[in-house]
C-alpha cells in the first residue's frame, strides 16, 4: 500500500469515532430518552370527556414527579369519550386502585400532562386496569369567559343565573364527577 | 416522445441502482476502497458541515427567539430548534451541503474516469467497473451522511446553547430541559438519521449515475458535475417531503 | 486449443456503429506468434475492429473467432475471454489513485488467489520487463507519458494473456519513447510467445517490427501483406497514406456533409 494509507485510516477512524460519540451525546442530551424499551412498564387506561391539548408522550406525574407517559389516545366510538393509555414505570406499581387522574397544564402556557392523585384503596392498580376517577382538561378561554361574565360582586346575582345554565352544558367545569359518585 | 424517453431514463437509473447493489461484496479490496471513500467524502466534508451547522443553529435560535418572545415563550426556543433540526433542517441541509461538496466530486471523478478510459480499461480487464468504482462510493455516502448529520446537529445545538444562554439570557437548565422534553427519541431523533441515510443513498446514486454515463470528454465531465448537483438536490428535497408526509402521522 | 489454430479469425464481418456501416467484408486470419499492424487513416474504423475482438461490439454479419472460439455474448463467458486478452488503450486507463505497482497488481489480485508476496514478485517482474521497476511506487500523475504507457503495458501483461491488442500505442509519445514502446512490443511478443495486433497510423515506426500489415480505408481492407510488400505497393490510396500526400484518393477538400462513403476499390 502507499505511504498515505496509515494517515487516511487514522483520519477515517477518528471521523467515525467522533461521529458515533456525538450521536451518543445528542441522543442522551437532546432527546426525551424514550428508547422504547417496553419491558419495564405497565399500562392502565383512563377515560376523559375532554382532553384539551393533551397528546402522545405527554408525561404522567404524581405530585410533580414523572412516573410514566401517555402511550396512546383513542376515541371510544360507542360512548364518544376519549380513552387514554398511560404507560407507568414498573417501579411505581403500588398506586391505589382509586387513584384519580386529571389533565393539567404546567404553568400558564406550558404543556399538558396527566396528574395522578393517589386515593386510599389498599389494592394496587394492575396492568390493564382502568382509572375511574377522572377530571377533564380545563379550557382556559372558557374559564376566562365565565369569570368575565360572572364578573365582580355587582353582577354576581344576575350574571350567575345567566351563566349557570350554560355551565353544565360546557363540560368544562371544575367538578365533573361521573354520575354514580354524585 | 419525451414521456417515453423520461420513462426509459428512470428505468435505466433503476437498473443502475440494482447493479450497484448486486456488485457490493465485502471483500478486502472493497473494504479498503470503502475506507478511502469515507475519508474523501466524509472526513473531508466535515469542515463545511460543521461551520454550516453552527451558523444554522445561531440563525434559527435568533429567529426563534424573535418569534416566541412576542408570546412570552422565549424559553421554548430550544424546543423549536431541536424539533426543526431533527425533523427537517438537520438531514436536509446536511444532505444539500454534502451534495455540493461530495456529490459533485463523485460525479466529477467518475466522469473523469470515463474520459480517461479507466472505466473501459476495467471492463477489458474483466473487472466490473460498477463494483470497483461506484459501490464503495455509494456505501460510503449511506454511512457518512447520517454521521455528518450528527455533527451538524451537535454543532447547531451547541451554537444555539451559546446564543440562547449567553447572549439572549435563557436559563441553561431550562434550555436543556425544554429541549429534552420536546424531542422524541423514536419519532424525531431516530427518524432524522433514517432520513439522512436515505438522502445519502439518493445523492450517491444520482451523482454516480450521471458521472458514470457522462460523455467521455472534458465538457462531458463538467456537464455531468452540474447535472449531478442539481438533480440530486431536487431528489433529496422530494424524498424529504415524501418521508415527512408518510412518517409524520 | 489447437496450437496451430489462428489466434484471431474474422470471416465476412460487417460492423455497424450508430446505424452506419463502418466496416464490411472483413476477412482476416492472424496466426499465432505474429505481430500484425492494422494501419489506416484516422476514422477508418481501426478501433472498431478492436472493439469487435474484445466483444464490445457485436458483428452485424459474419463471425469473429478469438482464441479458437466465437466471441461470446453472455457476460460471464465474455469476462473469461477478456482475461485471455491484454489491451493497451490509447488513454492508458491507469487508475489514478493507485500507484504503478498497485495498478499492475489489480488483475492479479482480482482474478487469482495468489498470496501477496507472490503477487508482489510478479508485479516487479512485469515492471522490470518494461524497464520501470524503479517507478513501482509512483502514481500515474507523476509519470511521463511514455512511462505511463509502459506501466499500462505491464498491467495488460499481468495475467500473461496469449493475445495482446494495442490501440494507438504511440499517441503523444516522443521519438525515443515511441522507439521504446515498439521495441517492447516486438521483444515481449517473441520472448513471451504472444500474438500482437497493433492498431496505429504511425506507419514508419510500426512497419519495421510487424510481420504482417493490413491497411483499412473506405470501410474495408485495401491491403494485406508483409511490410516489404506494403512499401512496394503501387495502389494510389496506399501510396498516399504511406507517403503522407495531402491530396490523392483521399481528397484534400472534405466531402460535403451527408455524402456516403464510397465502396472499397
Average pLDDT of chain C, as a whole number: 87
User: Quick one: how far is CA C132 from the chain centroid?
Assistant: 21
Residue A147 lies in a domain: no
Tell me what the pLDDT averaged over chain A comes to: 77
Contacting subunits of C (3+ beta carbon pairs below 8 A):
A, B
CA distance C76 to B61: 58
Tell me what pLDDT residue A34 has: 67
Please list every residue in chain A whose beta carbon sits closer than 8 Å to the beta carbon of residue B157. Answer: 26, 30
Do A14 and A71 sit in the same domain of this protein? no
Work out how many domains chain C is built from and give that number: 2
Asked if A74 and A46 count as a contact pair (C-beta separation under 8 A), the reply is no
**Residue C73: what pLDDT?**
84
Domain membership of residue C114 as a residue range: 93-160
Asked if the structure places residue C190 within a domain, the reply is: yes
CB contact under 8 A, B124 and C95: no
Q: How many CB pairs under 8 A join A and B?
A: 79
- Is residue A32's pLDDT more than 80? no
What pLDDT, on a 0 to 100 scale, did the predictor assign at position A8?
Answer: 85
**Residue A178 placed within a domain:** no
Mean pLDDT of B151-167: 94
Residue C230 and residue C170 share a domain: yes
Domain count, chain A: 2
Angle, helices C100-111 vs C145-156, to 10°: value is 10
Helix A5-30 vs helix B28-37: angle between axes, to the nearest 10 degrees?
70
Mean pLDDT within B162-183: 89
Give the residue on B whose Cα is nearest the Cα of A57: B184
Over residues C16-27, the pLDDT tens digits come to 888 888 888 889
Instruction: State the pLDDT at residue A182.
Output: 47
Helices (H) and strands (E) in chain A, counts: 4, 8
CB-CB neighbors (< 8 A) of C99 in chain A: 2
- Are A21 and A62 part of one and the same domain? no
Complete DSSP assignment for C111-128 = H----HHHHHHHHHHHHH
pLDDT value of residue C265: 41
pLDDT greater than 80 at residue A168:
no
Are residues A8 and A87 both part of a single domain? no
Query: What's the complex ipTM?
Result: 0.85
Residue A53 structural domain:
41-135
| pLDDT surpassing 70 at residue A88 | yes
Mean pLDDT across B94-112? 95
Domain ranges of chain B: 27-247
Residues A26 and A45 in one domain: no
- Grid coordinates of C251: 481528397
Q: Are residues A19 and A58 in the same domain?
A: no
pTM (predicted TM-score)? 0.80
Statement to judge: residues C80 and C120 lie in one domain: no
What pLDDT, on a 0 to 100 scale, did the predictor assign at position C108?
A: 93
pLDDT digits (tens, 9 = 90+) for C194-214: 999 999 988 888 999 999 999
Asked if C89 contacts B124 with a C-beta cutoff of 8 angstroms, the reply is yes
- Last residue of some domain: C125, C160, C195? C160
Interface test with C, best of A1, A2, A8 (most C CBs within 10 A): A2
| CATH code for position C204 | 3.40.50.300
**A126 and A75, same domain (yes or no):** yes
Q: Are residues A131 and A64 in the same domain?
A: yes
Same domain, C153 and C182: no
Amino acid at each position: 500500500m502507499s505511504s498515505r494509507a496509515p494517515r487516511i485510516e487514522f483520519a477515517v477512524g477518528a471521523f467515525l469515532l467522533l461521529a458515533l460519540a456525538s450521536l451518543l451525546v445528542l441522543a442522551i442530551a437532546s432527546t426525551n430518552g424514550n428508547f422504547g424499551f417496553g419491558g419495564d412498564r405497565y399500562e392502565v387506561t383512563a377515560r376523559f370527556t375532554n382532553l384539551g391539548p393533551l397528546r402522545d408522550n405527554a408525561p404522567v406525574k404524581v405530585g410533580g414527579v414523572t412516573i410514566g407517559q401517555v402511550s396512546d389516545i383513542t376515541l371510544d366510538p360507542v360512548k364518544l369519550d376519549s380513552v387514554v393509555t398511560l404507560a407507568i414505570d414498573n417501579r411505581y406499581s403500588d398506586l391505589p386502585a382509586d387513584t384519580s387522574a386529571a389533565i393539567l397544564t404546567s404553568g400558564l402556557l406550558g404543556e399538558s400532562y396527566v396528574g395522578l392523585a393517589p386515593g386510599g384503596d389498599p389494592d394496587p392498580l394492575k396492568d390493564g386496569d382502568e382509572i375511574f376517577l377522572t377530571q377533564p382538561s380545563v379550557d382556559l378561554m372558557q374559564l376566562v369567559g365565565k369569570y368575565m361574565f360572572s364578573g365582580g360582586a355587582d353582577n354576581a346575582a344576575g350574571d350567575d343565573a345567566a351563566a349557570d345554565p350554560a355551565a353544565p352544558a360546557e363540560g368544562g367545569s371544575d367538578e365533573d364527577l361521573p354520575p354514580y359518585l354524585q | 416522445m419525451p414521456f417515453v424517453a423520461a420513462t426509459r431514463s428512470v428505468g435505466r437509473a433503476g437498473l443502475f441502482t440494482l447493479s450497484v447493489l448486486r456488485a457490493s461484496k465485502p471483500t478486502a479490496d472493497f473494504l479498503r476502497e470503502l475506507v478511502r471513500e469515507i475519508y474523501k467524502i466524509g472526513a473531508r466534508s466535515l469542515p463545511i458541515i460543521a461551520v454550516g451547522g453552527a451558523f444554522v443553529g445561531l440563525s434559527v435560535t435568533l429567529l426563534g427567539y424573535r418569534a416566541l418572545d412576542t408570546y412570552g415563550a422565549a424559553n421554548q426556543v430550544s424546543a423549536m430548534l431541536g424539533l426543526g433540526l431533527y425533523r427537517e433542517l438537520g438531514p436536509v441541509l446536511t444532505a444539500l451541503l454534502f451534495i455540493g461538496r461530495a456529490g459533485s466530486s463523485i460525479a466529477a471523478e467518475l466522469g473523469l474516469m470515463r474520459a480517461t478510459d479507466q472505466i473501459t480499461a476495467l471492463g477489458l480487464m474483466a473487472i466490473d467497473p460498477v463494483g470497483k468504482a461506484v459501490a464503495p462510493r455509494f456505501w460510503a455516502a449511506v454511512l457518512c451522511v447520517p454521521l455528518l448529520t450528527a455533527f451538524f446537529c451537535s454543532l447547531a445545538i451547541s451554537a444555539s446553547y451559546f446564543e440562547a444562554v449567553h447572549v439572549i439570557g435563557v436559563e441553561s437548565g431550562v434550555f436543556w430541559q425544554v429541549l429534552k422534553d420536546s424531542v422524541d427519541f423514536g419519532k424525531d431523533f431516530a427518524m432524522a438519521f433514517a432520513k439522512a441515510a436515505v438522502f445519502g443513498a439518493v445523492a450517491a446514486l444520482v451523482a454516480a449515475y450521471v458521472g458514470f454515463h457522462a460523455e467521455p470528454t472534458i465538457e462531458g465531465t463538467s456537464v455531468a458535475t452540474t447535472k449531478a448537483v442539481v438533480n440530486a438536490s431536487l431528489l433529496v428535497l422530494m424524498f424529504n417531503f415524501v418521508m415527512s408526509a408518510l412518517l409524520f402521522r | 486449443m489447437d496450437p496451430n489454430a489462428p489466434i484471431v479469425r474474422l470471416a465476412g464481418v460487417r460492423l455497424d456503429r450508430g446505424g452506419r456501416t463502418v466496416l464490411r467484408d472483413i476477412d482476416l486470419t492472424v496466426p499465432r506468434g505474429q505481430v500484425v499492424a492494422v494501419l489506416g487513416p484516422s476514422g477508418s474504423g481501426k478501433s472498431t475492429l478492436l472493439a469487435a475482438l474484445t466483444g464490445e461490439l457485436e458483428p452485424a454479419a459474419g463471425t469473429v473467432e478469438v482464441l479458437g472460439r466465437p466471441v461470446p455474448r453472455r457476460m460471464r463467458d465474455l469476462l473469461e475471454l477478456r482475461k485471455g486478452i491484454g489491451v493497451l488503450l490509447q488513454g492508458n486507463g491507469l487508475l489514478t489513485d493507485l500507484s504503478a505497482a498497485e495498478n499492475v497488481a489489480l488483475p492479479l489480485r482480482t482474478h487469482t488467489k495468489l498470496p501477496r508476496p507472490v503477487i508482489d514478485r510478479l508485479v516487479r517482474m512485469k515492471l522490470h520487463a518494461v524497464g520501470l521497476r524503479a517507478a513501482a511506487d509512483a502514481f500515474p500523475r507523476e509519470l511521463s507519458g511514455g512511462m505511463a504507457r509502459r506501466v499500462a503495458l505491464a498491467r495488460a501483461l499481468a495475467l500473461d494473456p496469449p493475445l495482446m491488442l494495442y490501440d494507438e500505442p504511440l499517441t503523444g509519445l516522443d521519438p525515443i519513447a515511441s522507439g521504446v514502446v515498439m521495441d517492447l512490443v516486438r521483444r515481449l511478443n517473441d520472448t513471451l510467445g504472444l500474438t500482437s495486433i497493433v492498431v496505429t497510423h504511425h506507419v514508419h515506426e510500426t512497419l519495421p517490427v510487424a510481420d504482417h500489415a493490413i491497411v483499412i480505408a473506405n470501410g474495408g481492407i485495401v491491403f494485406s501483406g508483409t511490410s516489404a510488400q506494403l512499401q512496394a505497393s503501387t495502389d494510389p490510396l496506399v501510396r498516399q497514406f504511406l507517403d503522407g500526400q495531402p491530396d490523392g484518393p483521399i481528397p484534400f477538400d472534405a466531402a460535403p456533409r451527408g455524402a456516403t462513403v464510397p465502396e472499397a476499390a
